[in-house]
Every structure is written in structure tokens, then in C-alpha cells.
Amino acid sequence: MARILILVVMLLATAFGAYMVGRSQSLATLDEADRKSLALYAEALDTVRNNYVDQRNIDPKKETYGAIEGMLETLGDDGHTRFLTPEEREQNDQSLSGTYVGIGVQLEEKSGEVVVAAPIDGSPAEEAGVSSDDVLLAVDGKSVMGDDVSEVVEKVKGPEGTSVELTVRHDGERRTYDLQRAEISSPAASWALIPGTHVALVHLSSFSDDSVQELQNAFEAAKAAGARRFILDLRNNPGGRLDQAVGMAGYFLEPESVVYIRKDASGEREEITVEGDPESTNAPLAVLVNEGSASSAEILAGALRDNGRAPVIGETTFGTGTVLSEFVLRDGSSILLGVAEWLTPDGDFIRDTGITPDTRVPLAEGTEPLTPEDARGFSREEILENDAQLRKAYENLQGQ
């Protein structure tokens, strides 16, 4: 019942506001079911406003934001379709540009809990040991159980240089981190040559602005250093801009290859293909993924797998199967709305189930994926010993 009332709040607030300023349909154009819902809400609103004991806690903006969030929660696109306040929208835009202030975690909703989809390389969270799939329990000692993603983000964010205490559940164990917020500027792509080999580990941390060019630059630099085989590491990559995923696929696949299939609300399907001349269609390639690989990372992995370009190795991905569009609202807030579903080139629908790797390789308990920065401090033997997924990719490339 609470969710129904929240939905009605949103409908009335949106429709009435648009009616008053002439920016949308008039109430007369709504169907009978919507008009009944709005009338019901008007009755509920009068009841609350006239009778609620603590009148100081009645906040129209919070009511409206809560209504929008409640409506989006009923859609079932957990962790992807979501509402952003003006502040959250600014932070989201900054993260896609590659620079923002925070502790460096991408949060998602999973099974009714707020979890870390991926820590950002080099961020305070990553350096402290926060891991993918850690469940957020408390912020500054106050429980966040039952909060949605936007509420947790609001509690975690703050000015540069200030501290925040994060309590998480990691593999059943309770852990607390004291983190200092900082400006985070991390390149989307980094690479390292595995010592004594012609194999390069190329890590892509996000699909932010210009990440296509960053990835190409990393591959070209690795080639100049002697690399002839490549491991594309998409582990703990939370995704980002869809156009960047398509552009990256075009770097590896022949023109007209299908990157993904877009299925809209009417059920119509459209094949999204790559354009232009590929620059790396022949070099042996393997792709690493894990449960922190989401959204655009899954699209790229699925495209490379289904087109036979590269085997996918690691663990099943997060399972984000919708294409988002942003709709900016009048006060600067926005709705990131799943306007279409996407399928892999072979027609696999991965929402909630994820991309299943060709070769499943778990990491040992307490082991984190090696980054190129980590690899530069190890010998070949140490690298292969410390990262089972990377080792399997390396072994796979020896046969290509």
C-alpha cells in the first residue's frame, strides 16, 4: 500500500505541476485509471497534511523525490533505472568525465541491499581494501539497511578532505573503514607487459568520456613495447557510456559486426553494429570479467564473445540488461530510465543472470584481481601465481 501511495504522489505532483505551467499534458488527457489514482492521492494528501502529528517533518521536496524513487522501484530494474537528485546527477556526470570528489565506489542495489559494484582504481576505497560485492551496513555508525542507493550516496558524499566511516559485510565478516574523501581522477585504461613475455594486461576501469581513445592509446603503447597478445581486463568495471562500448567493439571487430541487439518497449529488435575500419582484429585476445563487470562492460564482453573474437574468462557478470536514457527534470534532478533491453549478438538476455564466461575461474578467498600497477612490481611467476583468472587467460593465449 505504501508503494501505491508513493506512486500516486509522483503522478499527482508531476501531472499537476506540468498542468499549472503548461509544460505537459493537461489532466483532462489522462486516462480514467490515472484520474482515479490522482483523486485518491489528493484525499491521502489532505489527510496527511491536516492530521500528521509532526508537521515540521512534512517536506514537499522529500515527498516528491520519495514518490519518484518509489515509482522507479516498482519497475523491477534494480540497480540500473534510478532517480538522481541534482547533487547526485552532478556527481554522476563528474564520474563519467573521469574526475569527481568522493571515496571511489560505484554502488548498486542487489537483492534488496546496497552493494559495492566496484571500487575505483587508486581511490581511497580501493586502497583501503573495499571490495566488489561488499554490502553496505552503516555510514558514520548509522545503519543504512533498508535505504536505497540514492539515500546511501547522499550519506557517503561530502567535501574533499573530509572523512566518512564505512561499515560493510565482506564474505560474512563485518569490516569498518575510515575513508577520506578526495578528488578522484583515474585514467580509464592502463596497461603493463607481463615480464619476459609478449603478453600485455590492459585494464579498463570505466566507460567514461574518451575512454575509447584511452583504450586505443593503451593498446598502441603496449604494442610499441613489444606486446603481441592481449588480456583485456573488464573486472570491476561498472560500465558507463554506451557509445563508448560500441566504439571499443569497433576497435576489435570487423565492420558490420553486431555489438548488441536493442529491444524496445514494443518488442521491436534492432541490431547495433560497428562502423569504420577496425585497428586490432588479428592480435590474440582474451577477456576477463567478474561479478563487478556491469552494463557497458557486459555489452563489450558479450560482443567479443559472440563474434568469436575472444574467449571470456572469470566469473559471471553483474547482469545489467537495460539501456538507459537520462530524462532531466525541471529542478535539475533526473531519471535514468531503462528505455530498452539489450541482448548479446547471439540473442542472450543477460538481465539478472549476467554474462556466463566461456571458462569459469574463481579467485581464491581474499584475493583481489591484479591491476597493471600491481603487475609492474611482480615477476611473471608472481603475477600468474597471485591471479588465477589472469593465469587462465595467459594460458589460453599461448594456444592462439
Of residues 30 and 4, more confidence is placed in 30
Average pLDDT taken over every residue of the chain: 87
Among residues 156, 184, 212, which one ends one of the domains?
184
| pLDDT, tens digit (0-9, with 9 covering 90-100), for 121-134 | 778 998 999 998 89
> In this structure, are residues 119 and 102 in contact, taking their beta carbons and an 8 Å threshold?
no
**pLDDT for res 21:** 36
Is 91 inside a domain boundary?
Answer: no
**Same-domain check for residues 62 and 109:** no
What percentage of the chain has pLDDT greater than the value 70? 90
| pLDDT, tens digit (0-9, with 9 covering 90-100), for 86-138 | 988 887 776 666 566 789 887 877 788 999 877 877 789 989 999 988 999 99
**Same-domain check for residues 285 and 375:** yes
Mean pLDDT of 171-175: 93
**pLDDT for res 118:** 72
Among residues 184, 202, 237, which one ends one of the domains?
184
| pLDDT, tens digit (0-9, with 9 covering 90-100), for 179-193 | 999 987 667 899 999
Mean pLDDT of 156-175: 93
> What is the extent of the structural domain holding 339?
187-398
**Same-domain check for residues 172 and 195:** no
Reduce the DSSP state of residue 107 to 3 states and report it.
strand
Cβ neighbors of 179 (< 8 A, separation 6 or more) are 103, 124, 125, 128, 163, 164, 165, 166
Is 79 inside a domain boundary?
Answer: no
> In this structure, are residues 139 and 114 in contact, taking their beta carbons and an 8 Å threshold?
no
What is the DSSP pairing of strand 99-102 with strand 359-360?
Answer: unpaired
Checking if the pLDDT of 25 tops 70, the result is no
Q: How many helices (H) and strands (E) are present in the chain, helices listed first?
A: 12, 19
Helix/strand/coil (H/E/C) assignment for every residue in 157-206: CCCCCCEEEEEEEECCEEEEEEEECEEEECCCEEEEECCCCCEEEEEECC
**Same-domain check for residues 161 and 206:** no
Of residues 234 and 205, more confidence is placed in 234
**pLDDT for res 15:** 37
**Same-domain check for residues 350 and 260:** yes
**Same-domain check for residues 191 and 180:** no
Q: By C-alpha distance, which of 81, 71, 117 is closest to 354?
A: 117
Q: Specify the pTM.
A: 0.69
Number of domains in the chain: 3
> In this structure, are residues 140 and 158 in contact, taking their beta carbons and an 8 Å threshold?
no
Q: By C-alpha distance, which of 296, 287, 289 is closest to 260?
A: 296
**Same-domain check for residues 135 and 216:** no
**Same-domain check for residues 41 and 53:** yes
* C-beta atoms surrounding 141 within 10 Å: 8
Among residues 184, 205, 227, which one ends one of the domains?
184
What percentage of the chain has pLDDT greater than the value 90? 55
| Neighbour-count burial for 242-281, b at 16+ CB within 10 Å, e otherwise | bebbbbbbbbbbeeebbbbbbbeeeeeeeebbbeeebebe
**Same-domain check for residues 313 and 209:** yes
**Same-domain check for residues 159 and 216:** no
Instruction: Tell me how far apart the alpha carbons of residues 154 and 60 are, in angstroms, rounded to a whole number.
Output: 18
Checking if the pLDDT of 4 tops 60, the result is no
CATH number, domain containing residue 311: 3.90.226.10
**Same-domain check for residues 112 and 226:** no
Task: Give alpha helix (H) positions in the chain.
Answer: 2-21, 32-51, 60-73, 86-97, 124-128, 149-156, 211-224, 242-252, 296-306, 372-375, 380-386, 388-398
**Same-domain check for residues 206 and 350:** yes
Is 81 inside a domain boundary?
Answer: no
Instruction: Tell me how far apart the alpha carbons of residues 169 and 167 are, in angstroms, rounded to a whole number.
Output: 7
Helix (H) or strand (E) holding 323: strand 322-328
Mean pLDDT of 69-74: 89
Weakest mean pLDDT among 78-87, 247-256, 274-283, 312-321: 274-283
**pLDDT for res 192:** 95
